[in-house]
């Protein structure tokens, strides 16, 4: 794995590190499950630190263990888990930029955390997002593709790794250019037709588009891999059929699904293959959505899809609907979608 080249691009192209800036780089020793790779994140951490130092920056290494992370929530009282604002300010003051290699790298061990502590844990990401925004700090979330993550998702570990690192090792200047070109095309109107396998779904887009360019100067918190154009959908405008090769919810994956919309409600979920847990998918989708987001991927990775939605939804030419309701989040990804302003012109057919 060419960690050196990828680390160079993260520090110089994504962060654009200035001399004498401090970067806190966090990693975790994976010692909860026996997957024979407890130190898997360390080589990548070392390269990020080395590139930072070569650029006259100061790398601050923050290494914890999976086991102490788990025990923190199991054995420490809820009152003691709350960290004072003063202590958080001290922690944040040490760096301008933070890189976390362990974000979502092993979801499985959370199952042993007591429910009350786990509910607190689910709130913490929102607390930290607000904290980073308030303090004008920058955070990169690098969810390292561990064997434990592949095991949790029940997908091939080697494919997951190859897809992940190929999605990181891209031309970020070209990515930014292509996203700006697409955004200029999509600003011409708000109502579009999504065509998937000769099925049509009409949508109206609302609000401002979010551009995930791979440029930390324009984002507070960035998840890598990146590279997408995103905009919310007016829910009651959705009429028609959306066909998707894969639908994701937590560690569930469904294949070859078509979603039938009437005035924003999903009235039917159909598939041409026998699949387990299809009733679970229907129970989530038949709940009225709170938000629907259209996501267009532009990351030109050369590796096959990984079957992990965080990596696959940014892949070039993938078009996704992220549907959030009280029952949870669904990401439906179509690999052959077109976005039409008229019957003749597919705006995704030429991305510049």
133 and 228 share one domain = no
Domain that includes residue 299, residue range: 174-340
179 and 148 share one domain = no
31 and 104 share one domain = yes
Task: Determine contact, residues 10/140, Cβ cutoff 8 Å.
Answer: yes
Residue 168, C-beta contacts closer than 8 angstroms, at least 6 positions apart:
6, 9, 10, 224, 225
Phi, psi of 44 (to 5 degrees): -70, -40
Q: How far apart are CA 147 and CA 37, in angstroms?
A: 8
Domain boundary among 153, 185, 211: 153
Q: Which pLDDT value is given to residue 157?
A: 94
Q: Is residue 46 part of a domain?
A: yes
Q: Which pLDDT value is given to residue 342?
A: 65
212 and 132 share one domain = no
Q: Which pLDDT value is given to residue 75?
A: 81
46 and 119 share one domain = yes
129 and 188 share one domain = no
| pTM > 0.75 | yes
CATH of the domain at 37: 3.40.1830.10
136 and 13 share one domain = yes
Q: Is residue 346 part of a domain?
A: no
pLDDT (tens place) for every residue of the chain, 352 residues total? 789 999 999 999 999 999 999 999 999 888 876 667 889 999 999 999 999 999 999 999 999 888 887 787 778 776 776 666 677 788 888 999 999 998 888 776 666 565 555 555 554 556 677 788 888 899 999 989 998 899 889 999 999 999 999 999 999 999 999 999 999 999 989 999 999 999 999 999 999 999 999 999 999 999 999 999 999 999 999 999 999 999 999 999 999 999 999 999 999 999 988 888 999 999 999 999 999 999 999 999 989 899 999 999 999 989 999 999 999 999 999 998 999 976 667 888 754 3
Residue 302, C-beta contacts closer than 8 angstroms, at least 6 positions apart:
166
147 and 244 share one domain = no
Q: Which pLDDT value is given to residue 329?
A: 95
- Across 229-266, b (16+ Cβ under 10 Å) vs e yields bbbbbebebbebbbbbbbbbbeebbbeebbbbbeebbb
Q: Is residue 168 part of a domain?
A: no
60 and 190 share one domain = no
Q: Which pLDDT value is given to residue 200?
A: 96
34 and 134 share one domain = yes
Q: Is residue 304 part of a domain?
A: yes
Q: How many domains does the chain have?
A: 2
144 and 27 share one domain = yes
């Amino acid at each position: 794995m060419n960690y050196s080249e990828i680390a160079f691009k993260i520090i110089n192209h994504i962060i654009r590190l200035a001399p004498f800036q401090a970067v806190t780089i966090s990693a975790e020793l994976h010692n909860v499950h026996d997957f024979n790779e407890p130190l898997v994140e360390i080589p990548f951490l070392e390269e990020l630190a080395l590139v930072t130092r070569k650029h006259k920056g100061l790398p601050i290494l923050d290494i914890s263990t999976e086991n102490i992370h788990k025990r923190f929530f199991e054995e420490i009282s809820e009152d003691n888990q709350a960290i004072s604002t003063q202590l958080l300010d001290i922690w944040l003051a040490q760096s301008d930029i933070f890189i976390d290699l362990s974000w979502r790298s092993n979801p499985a061990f959370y199952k042993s955390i007591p429910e009350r502590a786990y509910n607190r844990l689910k709130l913490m990401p929102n607390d930290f997002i607000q904290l980073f925004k308030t303090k004008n700090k920058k955070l990169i979330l690098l969810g390292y593709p561990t064997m434990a993550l592949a095991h949790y998702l029940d997908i091939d570990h080697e494919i997951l790794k190859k897809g992940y690192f190929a999605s990181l090792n891209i031309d970020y200047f070209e990515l930014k250019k292509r996203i700006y070109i697409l955004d200029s095309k999509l600003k011409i109107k708000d109502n579009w037709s999504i065509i998937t396998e000769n099925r049509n779904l009409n949508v109206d887009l609302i609000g401002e588009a979010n551009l995930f360019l791979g440029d930390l100067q324009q984002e507070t918190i960035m998840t890598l891999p990146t590279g997408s154009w995103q905009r919310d959908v007016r829910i009651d405008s959705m009429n028609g059929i959306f066909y998707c090769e894969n639908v994701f919810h937590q560690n569930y994956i469904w294949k070859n699904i078509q979603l039938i919309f009437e005035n924003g409600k999903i009235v039917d979920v159909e598939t041409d293959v026998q699949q387990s847990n299809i009733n679970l998918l229907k129970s989530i989708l038949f709940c009225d959505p709170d938000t629907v987001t259209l996501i267009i991927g532009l990351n030109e990775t050369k590796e096959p899809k990984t079957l992990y939605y965080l990596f696959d939804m940014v892949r070039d030419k993938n078009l996704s609907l992220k549907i959030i309701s009280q029952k949870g989040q669904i990401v439906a990804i179509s690999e052959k979608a077109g976005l039409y302003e008229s019957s003749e012109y597919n705006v995704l057919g030429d991305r510049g």
